């Protein structure tokens, strides 16, 4: 299978006082024709990675290739082959929805007739035809994001980059966007997206890289990542009793892999098979247990295991 995007040991430091290390040696390969997710908390380096792939951020060191072209050398040709929808709504506010699509086609060299035809096609396909004369500020978040994706696709790119495409969208708009992304993949487009929604990475993406502090912690299909993490659940408990005694009581229990103190309680990483949770409850019964939350094996528990933090912390 051919590779759509290849990053090799990419570093990016933003100058300033203090300088900020955004990427600390990222290497990854995105197979062509897949939906690939960069998953991580805000500030992990996802947007910087996308910025480098889309010619808007220059890597401090390392190499980046998109569609077999080298970033920093073939930027103009790279721009021809990629579509980009940024996290913020960057629609041209002085132009209508239809004009945003039409002029995008013109920027990519289409003549008037072709640009008009393509605009009609996109307005229909992305179901925004009834809003063609609306200005971007009159659109809801979901429609604006859909318009942005339509615009990013207008010049028929091979690779589509979506930066946090569903951030701030209501659940319905989010599902609609997922369908849209799957449809594009079915047409043979490679889609690279960033998200901080575990569920989005799990359900939408065929491959995922979990990113934190400018590094890739783990990479693979969501299934393989969860499997390699060994089917661990995370149990958060809150109680009023003596924390260190409680920690000692559960640490040696069979099925408990890790115990970390949290504010007001403990976080346990436990085997998801078997009956570990009831035993934990029993062991903590003398410690005024007030709350218990079990997170089933998911990308979220993988992230917690790898970093000791929730993704939204």
Partner 1 sequence: MNNPPTSIRASVFGLWARDFRVLRREWLPFFLRTVMNPLLTVFVFTYVLPRSGQHLPVAAGAMTFATVLLPGLVAVAMVFTGVSAVALPLSIELGATREIEDRVLAPVPLTTVPLAKVAFGAFQGMLAGAAVFPIVMLLPATEVHVRVASWPMLALMLALASWTAASLGLFLGTAVRPAQIGLMFALVLTPITFLGCVYYPWASLGAIPWLQYGVLANPLVYMSEGLRIALTPDVPHMVPIAAILMLAFLATLLTTLGVRGFIRRVVA
Least distance in angstroms from the C-beta of 76 to partner 1? 5
Whether residue 18 is preceded by a cis peptide bond, meaning omega within 30 degrees of 0, is yes
Stretch that binds partner 1, among 80-88, 194-202, 235-243, 289-297 (CB under 8 A): 80-88
Q: Are the CB atoms for 164 and 87 separated by under 8 Å? A: yes
CB nearer to partner 1: pick between 72 and 264: 72
Residue 77, interface with partner 1 (CB under 8 A)?
A: yes
Nearest approach, Cβ of 21 to partner 1 (angstroms)?
Answer: 14
Among residues 80 and 215, whose Cβ is nearest to partner 1?
80
Which range in 81-89, 194-202, 240-248, 270-278 contacts partner 1 by CB under 8 A?
A: 81-89
Considering only residues 38 to 67 of the shown chain, the ones binding partner 1 according to CB under 8 A are 48, 51, 54-58
For position 282 contacting partner 1 by CB under 8 A, the verdict is: no
Q: Which residue has the tokens 């073939």?
A: 74
CB of 62 to partner 1, least distance (A): 15
List the one residue from 76, 113, 252, 263 that touches partner 1 (CB under 8 A).
76
Give the contact letters, 83-112, x = binds to partner 1 (CB under 8 A), - = no. Answer: -x-x-xxxxxxxx---xx--xxxxxxxxx-
Residues 234-263 that bind partner 1 (CB under 8 A): none
- Shorter beta-carbon distance to partner 1: residue 108 or 178: 108
**Segment 112 to 171, residues that bind partner 1, using CB under 8 A:** 151
The least distance separating partner 1 from the CB of residue 52, rounded to whole angstroms, comes to: 9
Closer Cβ to partner 1, 89 or 134, answer by number:
89
Sequence-separated (6 or more) residues with CB below 8 Å from residue 299: 39, 198, 201, 202, 208, 210, 222, 225, 226
Distance in angstroms (rounded) separating the CA atoms of residues 201 and 32: 18
Would you tell me which residues interact with partner 1 (CB under 8 A)?
Answer: 14, 48, 51, 54-58, 75-77, 79-80, 82, 84, 86, 88-95, 99-100, 103-111, 151
């Amino acid at each position: 299978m051919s590779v759509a995007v290849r990053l090799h040991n990419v570093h990016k430091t933003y100058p300033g006082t203090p300088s900020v290390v955004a990427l600390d040696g990222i290497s990854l390969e995105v197979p062509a024709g897949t939906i690939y997710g960069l998953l991580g908390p805000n500030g992990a380096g996802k947007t910087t990675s996308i910025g480098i792939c889309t010619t808007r951020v220059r890597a401090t060191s390392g190499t980046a290739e998109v569609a077999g072209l080298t970033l920093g050398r073939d930027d103009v040709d790279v721009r021809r082959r990629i579509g980009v929808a940024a996290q913020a709504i960057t629609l041209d506010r002085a132009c209508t929805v239809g004009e945003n699509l039409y002029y995008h086609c013109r920027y990519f060299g289409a003549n008037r007739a072709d640009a008009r035809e393509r605009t009609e096609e996109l307005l229909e396909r992305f179901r925004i035809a009834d809003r063609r004369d609306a200005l971007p500020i009159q659109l809801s978040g979901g429609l604006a994001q859909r318009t942005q994706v339509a615009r990013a696709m207008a010049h028929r790119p091979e690779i589509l980059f979506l930066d946090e495409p569903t951030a701030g969208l209501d659940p319905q708009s989010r599902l609609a966007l997922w369908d849209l992304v799957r449809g594009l993949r079915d047409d043979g487009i490679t889609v690279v997206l960033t998200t901080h929604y575990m569920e989005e990475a799990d359900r939408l993406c065929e491959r995922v890289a979990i990113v934190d502090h400018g590094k890739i912690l783990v990479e693979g299909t969501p299934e393989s990542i969860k499997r390699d993490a060994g089917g661990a659940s995370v149990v958060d408990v809150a109680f009023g009793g003596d924390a260190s005694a409680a920690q000692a009581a559960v640490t040696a229990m069979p099925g408990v892999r890790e115990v970390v103190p949290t504010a007001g309680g403990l976080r346990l990483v436990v085997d998801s098979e078997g009956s570990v949770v009831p035993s934990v409850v029993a062991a903590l019964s003398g410690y005024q247990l007030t709350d218990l939350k079990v997170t089933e094996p998911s990308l979220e528990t993988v992230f917690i295991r790898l970093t000791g933090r929730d993704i939204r912390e």
